[in-house]
């Protein structure tokens, strides 16, 4: 089984290699995970504008992957940017959003989860994603670390301490019984595993929960619903032959 | 007061002129409405992919308008594509999404509204928009006309009859007491006005309700909340100097 | 366009003049606003009993206005007393409740609003109004100033300081991103404008948001739904000829 | 134990006698029920306006009863008009609204109830009452009989047949498992009992469920919460000495 | 009228006598209450496992009572263990769960109630019971006393002080306006009555509210819905002749 | 990795063998699945009473497994009987309920799912399970096949046709975009796979989705939350030494 992990922005080669190693190590036997980054996009996602920036290019790549032999695509951003569009334009490959996958696993493991995201600017989106997932009633809080995404790796131990502290507040004062990390960069730092240990509750590493959800669904022979994520009408009616035909450019001034 | 009506895709000059005339006619005395279309984007929005296609370019235009003397921007698509991002990146100009404005006006005028959108592919997004607006409990149904957006104008009377028929079903069988048209092209066909007459309930023309909401809020001295739609952290911290700095391109192969 | 502002209780002439001046100043060019108070009613509304006290008399006045050339009625109390009844008995004039209008504008401008009302006794009604408006999911808290309505004007600066303090708590500790003032007397003190400035979030002045909502809806050609607010059956069937016929008096002991 | 059944409008003496007999027959041993009607009010309640018409007078009577030795007041209208105000102004006597009591009993007996009200004009209020009661998730539908209240008694068998037919639809097509009659006049026709028999599900007679709820709560030593229904501030602060002081009259023209 | 109070576990004779006295004293004139305990079951219920332990035996007893002349069964545990099953298997006797009855009475008396349960381990179940009752929107918090059930009686005054303290927090900091005691042992200590006095809000004694709800429903001629709680298919089809036939034992190793 | 599949009732040896073969075939490489049935329990689960019948015995088995080297337990009934208790009493082994797992996978794959259960008697439990899972807003309907569980295997083709027919109604008339089979016996008939093919939407086979969810969570190093499913207080305090100590028997008559 081949799974593509698509990062909606450009990423350094070394970091891609580091992450690919981890993904491969977390994958089931017989599963190959390949990271594909997007030539143009945000350096990190700390605003909705940056989410949208990376979608059109990621879509083109995933549209192409859909015609190859990939079983699943895992989105490389835990804001699930453009998840709905990416599911609309694919007919064969399953597309998984890490936030959605992580929240559903938390919902299975407990009654009340909190989401820990990167910056305050991402808190309203966090609520919205829980609402859209239908899991608003299990969400306690969305809390922010307020360390920029790109500095997480340099500050692993500071980030971990702050995550543990916020997590502890959620557990002790607000009765959260599980946590969802809301950023893929956190996932590749292996902090979820230490937090689980120290806080005594399950903490979702969004990279691992997304990868395992993708594998599980593929092994069940399941694909995201094409009634729920319809193929774009202009493509299904044949008016457009490919994704490129959906983009129009002004010809006259 | 200057209001910009920003279409998230390229539009023919004649159609722009026709629409500008209507907008100006609907505007308050002393208000100038200017239509600005985007050089590259979808021909019409019938899928989430097409929504996302137009956002980055529309954002660049609105980011520029924010530094000029416009009081408000009305988005020219009733799917409210990228509304959250457009509000994040603006600090002076108020940004209004027509679906949100239309649903809130319907919510004021009655207890239960249905949304009439263009194609079945847009129904899940219709539910999502009501959910995000916090108005899910007042939404009866999202129903689709299933006439492609670009053919609406050529088939005004067929579209009107079908809208009246679906609207009547919603009123008589499902006790809807108001309707929201979910497409700006419907708005510029003046069908809402005839439907209001024939069905005896208020029908929101999304163009007019968005324009009037924009004017009303500006006249109240109100702007969308910058606590709710935070300026992107990379911009507020000065790490990026402008919107362009937020887009990264892969330099090495 | 003529708009009536109907106060559901008797008000001093000087105060009526002062308020009329402000209303006229806030109105669109071409709009005339007239304040009409009710001969018998509560001095201020701090309980449901006082809400109900003013409705029958206000209804009689609005029933009469409905037969004249008024385009809209704005209720002069932000508890929206009897809004449903006033909409039932009117067929031409649009009736606007300030709380409903203010909450819908807050819902457009942000994700989470708090309502600031006058006394603790009004907090349950505040929740109920958000529930009925369908906006419960966007409401953070209803908080009370606990300064009697009739003393607000004498204590403008104390009231403002307390409003700012409560508002700040809502923003900083509970992530409210907008505020709705829940009393018309607050509206005529112009505190919303100063609060907006000091707190950096939009604060709804219920007088202005109600007036602008009324103007906007009239200019859209929209009226509250008569399917949702049915004309009283005894009137529509002709069994009663006027509002007065709906009141029966015991004839025998 | 003395219970007052307060009709918010004038009622014929014979009808009062007929109803009093039934109430007394339904009451627990040792309970005396007394019907008190209001000298001025609606003939029947088919609109919100008619609800509000009867509240001020009913309040005055109940304010007086609160100072006598009544244990409870049952409101004589299943729209629960002014229930909140009546609870605010009482400190000793418990006030029960029949709709609220009936819906809570239905909620105990099953998972999904429908409300059968008199006229289409009352359907939105039916939804609102379920929402306020916190029981919206158990409500299936509010359906209307569309026989005027004042004609119910002359058409008992026609009304019963129609109630059975609508009830059967709710059970068979919509999986309602209990029904709440939404009108006291239905209650005094004993149709609930026959419907229960014929439909095989519990049907709440609002008169009996309200009376029994009142008796049960009194016997538990419980009173409606004065934190939730605060005594009006002007009364508790002593600015007003009685209910009458809360009504102001315009003195000058 | 005969009412059985069925304790889902074995109870000491003296305690049964003590409780029977109180129940009889709280019962209406003409009502006989009989306590029946179960030969095998939990000593007290502090976990879901202990809830389930007592259900099969309690069911057998109640199945037998259903064929005798009991009008109602009140479950002797405020976690309402197996309430749904006990209603399925009964066709004549009404079965009442004390938590459900208590929460519905609190819902009638106020807008916002908190539940006070025995141990932290019972808090998630407390939320679940409010959710199932359809009353989640009126629930403020479930709080725990953290005194083991079996030690409550020895520590009545300590328990009372802690209940008052937690209750006061709920009222003053979280605006609860009524409380529901979530344990029958608390009910038989008469603490609700003292709490009501000291806190100035209604506090549900689950024993009394359940008993009174049972009496009230029986006197209304109402039974739990057999559409909502269907008789087990194997029994209604005749494949099983009695409850015993529903239990299979492995015959071969 | 060893996974136990625990059937909460006795099952014939041949059927156990047949099911074990399928489970093993569906399991990941390296995973061993072992079926364990319970010596005493229901023949099939068509009522809540039958759910409860099997829990105490299943709990004893799972309590023992928790001390062995099993990584996960999958409950062998899609009503998830006693899931909460089984999670409370386990500290090492992860316990998975098939309905919860299936609904969460459906929630990931689409916006709106319907559950197809065996008999009408199970419909209210179906709603309750969706409510508890926090997924009520994504549930369209719970529909019943009304073929007894024990006859499903003899009537595979009839069952399949009826499932397809009901499924099609849900898709075409109610816009469901995925389905969850609500019975393990359906799962072992492989009908989900054919339904997916014929209806063009994902249909959850509860056996496979539960097994894959268990494997996925174990491979993520995650366990159900012990804050959400607390170890029974009598066990954690040491007052009881084992599960057996939690069951008390009446000693004196």
Eight-class DSSP state of F250: -
Task: Give the tens place of pLDDT for each residue, D76-98.
Answer: 999 999 999 999 999 999 999 99
Predicted pLDDT of residue F250: 84
Look at residue E253 in the predicted model and tell me its pLDDT: 53
Chains touching F, CB cut-off 8 Å, 3+ pairs:
A, B, D, E
Contact F42, F15 (CB under 8 A): no
- Which residues in chain B touch residue A88, judged by CB atoms under 8 angstroms apart? 47-49, 121
E strand spans, F9-148: 32-37, 40-41, 72-75, 94-96, 113-117, 139-144
* Residue F97 reports pLDDT greater than 70: yes
CB C37 within 8 A of CB D250: yes
Look up tokens 């029946």; give the residue: E36
**Cβ distance E186 to E159 under 8 Å?**
yes
Those chains having 3 or more beta-carbon pairs within 8 angstroms of chain E are A, C, D, F
The tokens of D101 are what? 């009591």
- Closest-CA distance, D29 to chain B, in angstroms, reads 45
| pLDDT-based confidence at residue E252 (cuts at 50, 70, 90) | low
pLDDT in tens, C134-169: 999 999 999 999 988 888 888 899 999 999 999 999
Q: How far apart are CA D103 and CA D85, in angstroms?
A: 20
CB E60, CB E243: distance < 8 Å = yes
CA B229 → CA A248, B53, B105, C207, E30, distances in Å? 30, 21, 22, 26, 65
| B and E adjacent (3 or more CB pairs under 8 angstroms) | no
Chain B residues with at least one Cβ partner in D under 8 Å:
111, 137, 175, 177
Separation in Å, CA of B106 to nearest CA in chain F: 22
| CA dihedral over B23, B24, B25, B29, signed as positive or negative | positive
Q: Which DSSP state fits B19?
A: H
- Starting from the edge strand earliest in sequence, which strands make up the sheet with B94-96, in order? B32-37, B2-7, B72-75, B94-96
Residues of D in contact with C233 (CB under 8 A): 46-47, 119, 121, 148
Distance CA E35, CA E14 (A): 12
CB-based contact E224 D200, cutoff 8 Å: no
Q: What is the mean pLDDT of chain B?
A: 96
Mean pLDDT of D51-70: 97
Q: What is the ipTM of this complex?
A: 0.97
Q: Comparing C-alpha atoms, which of A248, A231, A187, A245 is closest to residue A87?
A: A231
Query: Distance (Å) from the C-alpha of residue B174 to the closest C-alpha of chain F?
Result: 14
Residue F1 and residue F69: Cα distance in Å, rounded? 9
Query: pLDDT at position C230, please?
Result: 98
State pLDDT tens for residues F113-169: 999 999 999 999 999 999 999 999 999 999 999 988 888 888 899 999 999 999 999
Q: How close is the nearest chain F Cα to the Cα of E102, in Å?
A: 20
Phi, psi torsion values for F119, nearest 5 degrees:
-130, 155
CA nearest E132 in D: which residue?
D111
CA atoms of F148 and F159, how far apart (whole Å): 10
Query: Per-residue confidence at B79, pLDDT binned at 50, 70, 90?
Result: very high
Residues A224, A92: Cα–Cα separation, whole Å: 9
Residue D57: closest C-alpha in chain C: C53
Subunits next to D (3 or more Cβ pairs <8 Å) are: B, C, E, F
Domains of chain F: 2-97+209-246 (3.40.50.1860), 99-208 (3.40.50.12500)
- E175 CB neighbours in chain C (<8 A) are 123
Judged by 3 or more CB pairs under 8 A, whether D touches B is yes
Q: Is residue F42 scored above 80 in pLDDT?
A: yes
Paired strand residues for E37: E7
Q: Summarize pLDDT for C169-201 with one digit per residue, the tens.
A: 999 999 999 999 999 999 999 999 999 999 999
Percent of chain D having pLDDT more than 70?
A: 99
Dihedral angle at the C-alpha atoms of F41, F46, F52, F57, nearest 10 degrees?
A: 20
Chain B: residues touching F (Cβ < 8 Å): 123-124, 127, 136
* Residue C52 to residue D52, Cβ atoms within 8 A: yes
DSSP code for D94: E
Q: Check residue D210 and report its DSSP letter.
A: H
* Closest F-chain CA to B126: F111
pLDDT attached to residue A150: 83
The position carrying tokens 């790549």 is: A61
For the segment C28-56, the average pLDDT, to the nearest whole number, is 95
Which residue from B minimizes the CA distance to D128? B111
DSSP state of D240: S
> Computed from CA positions of residues B87, B93, B99, B101, in that sequence, does the dihedral angle turn out positive or negative?
positive
3-state secondary structure chain A: CEEEEEECCCCCHHHHHHHHHHHHHHCCCCCEEEEEECCEEECCCCCHHHHHHHHHHHHHHHHHHCCCCCCEEEECCCCCCCHHHHHHCCCCCEEECHHHHHHHHHHHHCCCEEEEECCHHHHHHHHHHHHHCCCHHHEEEEEECCCCHHHCHHHHHHHHHHHHHHHHHHHHHHCCCEEEECCHHHHCCCHHHHHHHHHCCCEECHHHHHHHHHHHHHHCCCCCCCCCCCCCHHHHCCCCCCHHHHEEECCCC
Q: Tell me whether residues C110 and B201 touch, CB distance under 8 A.
A: no
Residue stretches of chain A with pLDDT short of 70: 252-253
Look at residues D16, D204, D176, D207 and name the one whose alpha carbon lies nearest to residue D96: D207
pLDDT of B113 strictly over 80: yes
Residue E41 has pLDDT above 90, yes or no: yes
> Is the CB of residue F143 less than 8 Å from the CB of residue F134?
no
Residue for token digits 């209208």?
D77
In chain E, residues with a C-beta closer than 8 Å to the C-beta of F48 are 82, 84-85, 88
E195-244 pLDDT, tens digit per residue, is 999 999 999 999 999 999 999 999 999 999 999 999 999 999 999 999 99
Min Cα distance E133 → chain A (Å) is 16
- Quote the pTM value: 0.97
- Closest C-alpha among B6, B3, B180 to residue B101: B180
Tell me which of F114, F117, F124 to substitute to probe the interface with D (most D C-beta atoms closer than 10 Å).
Answer: F124
- The CA distance from F230 to B1, in Å, is 61
Give the bridge partners for A72, in sequence order.
A3, A94
Confidence of residue C251 (pLDDT cuts 50, 70, 90): confident
Q: Copy the structure tokens of residue B54.
A: 């137009």
Least Cα separation, residue D16 to chain E (angstroms):
21
Tell me whether residues B105 and C220 touch, CB distance under 8 A. Answer: yes
Q: How far is C118 from chain B (nearest CA, A)?
A: 22
Answer yes or no: do A52 and B55 touch at CB < 8 A.
Answer: yes
Residue F99 neighbours by CB distance under 10 Å: 31
Q: Which residues of A touch F134 (CB under 8 A)?
A: 107, 134-138
Task: Provide, as residue numbers in chain D, all residues whose Cβ is less than 8 Å from the Cβ of E111.
Answer: 225, 228
Strands (E) located in B69-108? 72-75, 94-96
CA distance C124 to chain E (A): 7
Token pair recorded at residue C105? 């504008």
- Is there an interface between E and C (3+ Cβ pairs < 8 A)? yes
CA distance A122 to A181: 13
Cβ B59–A49 below 8 Å, yes or no?
Answer: yes
């Amino acid at each position: 089984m081949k799974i593509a992990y698509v990062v909606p922005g450009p990423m350094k080669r070394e970091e891609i290699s580091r992450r690919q190693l981890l993904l491969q190590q977390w994958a089931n036997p017989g599963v190959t995970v390949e990271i594909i980054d997007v030539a143009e996009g945000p350096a990190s996602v700390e605003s909705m504008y940056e989410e949208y920036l990376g979608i059109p290019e990621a879509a083109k790549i995933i549209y192409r992957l859909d015609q190859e032999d990939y079983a699943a695509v895992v989105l490389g951003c835990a804001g699930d940017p453009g998840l709905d569009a990416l599911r609309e334009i694919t007919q064969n490959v399953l597309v998984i959003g890490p936030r959605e996958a992580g929240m559903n696993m938390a919902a299975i493991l407990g009654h009340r989860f909190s989401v820990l995201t990167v910056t305050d600017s991402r808190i309203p989106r966090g609520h919205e994603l829980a609402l859209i997932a239908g899991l608003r009633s299990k969400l306690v809080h969305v809390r922010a670390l307020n360390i920029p995404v790109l500095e997480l790796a340099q500050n692993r131990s500071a980030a971990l301490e702050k995550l543990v502290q916020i997590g502890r507040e959620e557990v002790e004062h607000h009765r959260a019984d599980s946590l969802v990390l809301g950023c893929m960069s956190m996932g590749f730092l292996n902090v979820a595993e230490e937090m689980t240990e120290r806080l005594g509750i399950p903490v979702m590493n969004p990279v691992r929960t997304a990868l395992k959800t993708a594998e599980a669904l593929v092994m069940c022979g399941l694909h995201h619903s094409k009634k729920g994520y319809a193929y774009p009408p202009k493509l299904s009616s044949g008016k457009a032959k490919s994704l490129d035909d959906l983009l129009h450019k002004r010809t006259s001034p």
